[in-house]
Structure 1
Amino acid sequence: MRLSNLIPSIPANVVACLEVQGIRTDTDLLFSTTTFDIYKRLPAGTATLEELTEYTTIAAEIGAAPGMSGHELLLLENTYGDVQLRTGNAELDGLLRGLDGRWIIELSGDKGSGKSTVALNLLINHLASNLEDTALWIDTTCDFSPERATQFLDATQTLPSTLERLQVSLAFDIDTIQGILETLSRPNDPRARPRFLVIDTITPLLGPLLSAVSAQGHAIMTDFMRQLQTFAQASGTAVFVINNSSRKGRDTPERKPALGPSFALLTDTTLWLEAKNDNNTEDSTEDNTVHTMQILKSRSAPIGGCCTFRIHGNVICPT
């Protein structure tokens, strides 16, 4: 949790001084070093040692997860099992089998490869099949289209009220998403949290932070993805992060997931999407395109699996 989110429980001037010393989260405050060492690094007059100890206690209390008995956890697990990933396309659903659960799944590919469409199809299918569940779409590029969601409802004869359980939030930096996750984690009842979460797109938030000459960006990325993993596990949420692509090398047109190999280690599964070349044929139109999905990496499904599917009017075709 960012210390800035603990204001006014911890005074703003103290938080500012701590951040100057590189102590930006409750984890930094609690585990990076001793309270006395932090006190010595702060400018004179910022806080007394007793006050700093009190602020550390406050951070620990606010950041601590609410306790649940084993019996309560078992009941919750039996009532709210793993999220099932279904698109309505038998071959594609077969490829996704084994990815059900509280995982972080990366959807990567070029622009037009179908990443957002696949995520939206999975999300709405889940809401339509689970009438008590909610979902959250975090939009980082202002590209979310209610019209596309409505197209899906019309094409599949899904109740329009399904979208009432979908919340869309704008976020243009990592701090904002971390704040959203912290807010969602506060309810004592995990059933109040979304069961399906999409971040579209993660690349513009993390990409500018990464540098070959500094490890700070990688540290921020790692901290954020671990927070996302913790949220997914604690809430029983299926998390999809949409990632762009980059060149494999200067002299090759081949593409790969953006954000480098370190990011791939921070997700549970990487799915690679491509628009097939035959989309240029007479049978293909802007609203009727052929795509492929391949499992590049996974902790719960065989690697290398691939299937072809068609998207028509923002809806994945059943066959």
Structure 2
Amino acid sequence: MNVIPPPSLSDFTPPLPATLVANLTSLNIRTASDLIFASPAELIGKLPAGSITFAELTHHIAHVTAAFAGPAITADKLIAELEPRAGQEPHSSSGLPALDELIGIGNDFGGAPGGRLIEISGTSASGKTALALHIALHHLTSHPAAAALWLDTTGNLAPARLASLVSRSSGQSSQPLARLNIATVFDTATATHTIATLDASSGHGSHVPQRAPQFRCVVIDTVTALLGPRLSNLSSQGHAEMTSFMRLLRATAQKHGLCVLVLNDATTAGHPALGASFTFLTDVTMWLARLPEQDHELRTAQVLRSRVSTTGARFTFRIRRGRVVVT
């Protein structure tokens, strides 16, 4: 399990002035995201007098932003890229026909050719991680050329659980797991840097080896732990950071035809965490819950909001010994 360090301000080429980096570090601005979301007007007043002009500061911020942000693409170019791929990408099934029908277009759950960003929210023990594992591992076992990326933001993902799930599902524990990439991330800078690496490994150009596994599924477990600590009623910076990160996820999903699953906890009132605006940053918001009946295996999944399917639809499934049971 490799932990990818967040990009610091000293990592850019051409490099930022050493004096500027030192002064920014003294203000606790250490990474690209820290600098991008800082206000230049406020920042110039906090830096040592005479150390830099406002024009120079905005120039350096623009340099960091250009290096850190993904390239822009117009709609006509995006359509031109997607059309040839429509019949070439692997079918993205969740392994649960009822779920595919619930939020899929046709029988495509959430991957190529358009890509989709799906929120799976719910209370503790509602089955969020189990369902995400089922979807990711089903895709890996169904498509030998596919890879998946799992961003663990809590450090709770147990490798033994993965091996057990694959072994019970397919009888082969090594092949699918070899294509499941796990990264432990505890901040948005690290997560953003990790997501950005998908550009180098999920592209469709000649620079990508034909036999290399292509990323088709990304899971963030949980997005609550990643973004929640940054949100505050006293500052809008955390909300801006959340919006920027989710837009990056959605753009990456669309660019590479990915199924991106973000797992979200619940508030004490029984609603998805991270605020009411978060649901509008995804394509689908799905709520998982345990049924009140005595059967402890039963779960229900309901579509709370969707850009691509019917809102309010639901289905039930079972979780037995930590894994989703297909009935």
Correspondence for 1:184: 198
CA displacement 1:148-176 (0-9 Å, x = unmatched): 22222222225321110001100011111
TM-score by length of 1: 0.78
Q: 1:292 aligns with which of 277, 300, 305?
A: 300
Q: What does 1:45-124 correspond to in 2, within 5 Å? A: 45-46=51-52, 56=62, 60=66, 63=69, 65=71, 74-80=83-89, 84-87=92-95, 89-98=96-105, 99-101=109-111, 102-124=115-137
Residue identity matched to 1:270: T
Correspondence for 2:233: 212
In structure 2, C-alpha distance between the alignment counterparts of 1:142 and 1:243, rounded to whole Å: 16
1:316 aligns with 2:321: no
Correspondence for 2:282: 267
Q: What does 1:90-239 correspond to in 2, within 5 Å? A: 90-98=97-105, 99-101=109-111, 102-160=115-173, 161-186=175-200, 189-190=203-204, 194-239=215-260
CA displacement 1:230-284 (0-9 Å, x = unmatched): 2111121111010000133xxxxxx111111011111111110011222x45xx5
Q: Is the 8 A contact 1:92 1:309 kept in 2?
A: no
The SS at the match of 2:215 is coil
Q: Is the 8 A contact 1:13 1:46 kept in 2?
A: no
* TM-fit CA distance, 1:52: 7.8
Bigger drift between 213-222 and 65-74 goes to 65-74
* TM-fit CA distance, 1:118: 0.3
Residue identity matched to 1:134: A
The SS at the match of 2:268 is strand
Q: Is the 8 A contact 1:21 1:41 kept in 2?
A: no
In structure 2, C-alpha distance between the alignment counterparts of 1:263 and 1:90, rounded to whole Å: 27
Residue identity matched to 1:265: F
* TM-fit CA distance, 1:70: 7.8
Q: Is the 8 A contact 1:231 1:237 kept in 2?
A: yes
* TM-fit CA distance, 1:178: 1.0
Residue identity matched to 2:185: A
The alpha-carbon distance between structure 1 residues 131 and 170, as it changes in their structure 2 partners (threshold 3 A), is: same
The alpha-carbon distance between structure 1 residues 188 and 54, as it changes in their structure 2 partners (threshold 3 A), is: farther
**CA RMSD in angstroms, aligned pairs only:** 3.7
In structure 1, C-alpha distance between the alignment counterparts of 2:24 and 2:86, rounded to whole Å: 39
* TM-fit CA distance, 1:105: 0.6
In structure 1, C-alpha distance between the alignment counterparts of 2:191 and 2:154, rounded to whole Å: 13
CA displacement 1:21-75 (0-9 Å, x = unmatched): 989758987xx989xxx99996534489789858856863675639989876544
Q: 1:9 aligns with which of 14, 20, 25?
A: 14
Return 5+ residue gaps in structure 1 as ranges. 249-254
Aligned residues: 301
CA displacement 1:51-106 (0-9 Å, x = unmatched): 9858856863675639989876544444226x51322x443343243342311111
Correspondence for 1:251: none
Q: Is the 8 A contact 1:10 1:55 kept in 2?
A: no
TM-score by length of 2: 0.77
* TM-fit CA distance, 1:17: 5.1
* TM-fit CA distance, 1:296: 0.5
CA displacement 1:271-312 (0-9 Å, x = unmatched): 10011222x45xx5xxxx111110001100101111111112
In structure 2, C-alpha distance between the alignment counterparts of 1:41 and 1:77, rounded to whole Å: 51
Bigger drift between 2-11 and 306-315 goes to 2-11
Return 5+ residue gaps in structure 2 as ranges. 1-5
Bigger drift between 14-23 and 115-124 goes to 14-23
In structure 2, C-alpha distance between the alignment counterparts of 1:203 and 1:188, rounded to whole Å: 26
In structure 2, C-alpha distance between the alignment counterparts of 1:215 and 1:66, rounded to whole Å: 25
The alpha-carbon distance between structure 1 residues 51 and 10, as it changes in their structure 2 partners (threshold 3 A), is: farther
Identical amino acids, percent of aligned pairs: 32
Q: Is the 8 A contact 2:202 2:214 kept in 1?
A: no
